Amino acid sequence: MESAHFTTNPDPHHHANTFKLGSIGARFIAALVDVIILAAVNGSLTMFAVPGEDLQSQGAISGLGLLMNLLYFMLMESSSYQATVGKMVVNLKVVDEQGQRLKTAQAAKRALGRTLSGIILGIGFLVALFNNENRTLHDMLAKTRVITDEKAPVDDL
């Protein structure tokens, strides 16, 4: 199966570039790795929950877990890595529509959009199956692409 690509639109500050888009398989594996990492971190938070504790305390712990998830995606994808640990494992990174590193605000929008993608029964993730750029709802909302990291080539998954 031929790999999908996207080409940036040139503007006064950037030349047009073509990037190989991350495959659905690679994105799935990356998501699985990230889920395992976040489950371990969030699971450790439950050590602070006392059985029979009031709902307000349990809600605070859940809220802290959500905040940690948002920060994980936002900070990792706007960092110089441009990727979460899961994406690094399969040599993917996240870029804006010009193929550049995300600004923190754009990464925050993408992280919030990811939460929305999950809240609506995962439909936001399934959107990637029905477009030629493998873009999820949160990619569309934040105007991002997931590409193969050219510095670390990997076979198609």
Average pLDDT of the residues in 15-37: 92
The predicted model scores a pTM of 0.83
More confident residue, 19 or 107: 107
Residue 128 DSSP class: G
Is the dihedral angle over the CA atoms 135, 131, 120, 85 positive or is it negative?
Answer: negative
Residue that the structure tokens 């198609």 belong to: 156
What does the block give as tokens for 28?
């799935």
Residue 77 CA from chain centroid, whole number: 7
The band of 45, judged by pLDDT with boundaries at 50, 70 and 90, is confident
Residue 101 DSSP class: P
Q: What is the pLDDT of residue 69?
A: 94
